[in-house]
Amino acid sequence: MQKKELNHLAIILDGNGRWAQERNMPRIKGHYEGGRRVKDIAIAASNLGIKRMTVYAFSTENWSRPDDEVNFIFKLPKIFLDKYLNDLMKHQIRVEYIGDISYIPEGAKKSINDSMIKTNENIGMTLCFALNYGSQDEIVKATKKIVQQVEDGSLNIEAINKEIFAANLMDNTPVDLLIRTSGEQRISNFLLWQIAYSEIYFTDVMWPDFDEKQLALAIEEYKRRDRRFGGLSNAK
Ligand code: IPE
Ligand code: IPE
Ligand code: MG
């Protein structure tokens, strides 16, 4: 693979609440608008030939928000899919999820499962929603799976390496470019293993304002980066 290829784009879509509050609207309006952006950016990314896009929709830490906000966020999968599934189908986008969906409300779970089944045969980009996702939780779960395999004798402890560890994660596609909107410069427990060598792009733009032009700026910046992977510069 060429070092500059952009296979996996991951996005910490942040700033929905502030975007709404700045406009004297309830925070949930920001989440609603943010959903539309996910659709726009997914289609733009798929048109650019990106193979996988993972969006951080709800973290394991987001349960600490007020109930009203959490309840609305879990209504969004149905709202999003009712509105946009046809668009995703048209663009051959497959929908996937990472995170612990066993604990989320039934309605959201049903929409999620339906969307995975309906888009399963699509051959274009995969749009992966991280929902009730936390990277530390993912790493602990992977560790438990590995220990289980050692205990039942199917895996030798000496055979454990980074490939085997990665294969036990919820998804192990290395992230090429990580974008975080809203001016915050932190990772907030997202894809810690997978971003080991990703380029990171921070922008002050709030997620509901992040449009195709903003995506193009991020990708231009990505293309200017010198990805050395511990080696020496490719620049002649
Ligand atoms: C990101 O927007 C979406 C979720 C975390 C669900 P926020 O809701 O974090 O928006 P801000 O950061 O409060 O503005
Ligand atoms: C990260 O955003 C989680 C998601 C985008 C789903 P937060 O807004 O929850 O992160 P912090 O609290 O600012 O770190
Ligand atoms: Mg936030």
Cβ within 8 Å of residue 97, ≥6 positions away? 112, 116, 128, 129, 130, 131
62 is catalytic: yes
pLDDT digit string, tens, across residues 181-195:
999 999 999 999 999
pLDDT digit string, tens, across residues 115-134:
999 999 999 999 999 999 99
211 is catalytic: no
The CA-based angle 204-208-213, given to 5 degrees, is 70
**pLDDT value, residue 236:** 52
Surrounding ion ligand 3 within 5 Å at CB are 14
pLDDT digit string, tens, across residues 40-77:
999 999 999 999 999 999 999 999 999 999 999 999 99
CA of 235 to the centre of ligand 3 (A): 37
pLDDT digit string, tens, across residues 2-47:
457 999 999 999 999 999 999 999 999 999 999 999 999 999 999 9
CA of 178 to the centre of ligand 1 (A): 17
> Of the listed 7, 62, 172, 189, which one is catalytic?
62
Q: Which of 21, 58, 62 maximizes ligand 2 atoms within 8 Å of its Cβ, making it the mutation to test the pocket?
A: 62
Indicate which ligand has the atom closest to the C-alpha of 188. 2
- Residue 152: is it exposed, middle or buried by C-beta count within 10 angstroms (0-12/13-18/19+)? exposed
Whether residue 178 is predicted with pLDDT greater than 80 in this model: the reply is: yes
Indicate which ligand has the atom closest to the C-alpha of 11. 2
Q: What is the DSSP string of 60-103?
A: TTGGGS-HHHHHHHHHHHHHHHHHHHHHHHHTT-EEEEES-GGG
Mean pLDDT score of the chain, rounded to an integer? 96
Percent of the chain with pLDDT over 70: 97
**pLDDT value, residue 4:** 78
Percent of the chain with pLDDT over 90: 96
Q: What is the DSSP string of 163-222?
A: HHHHHTSS--PPPSEEEE-TT----TTS-TTTTTT-EEEE-SS-GGG--HHHHHHHHHHH
Whether residue 235 is predicted with pLDDT greater than 80 in this model: the reply is: no
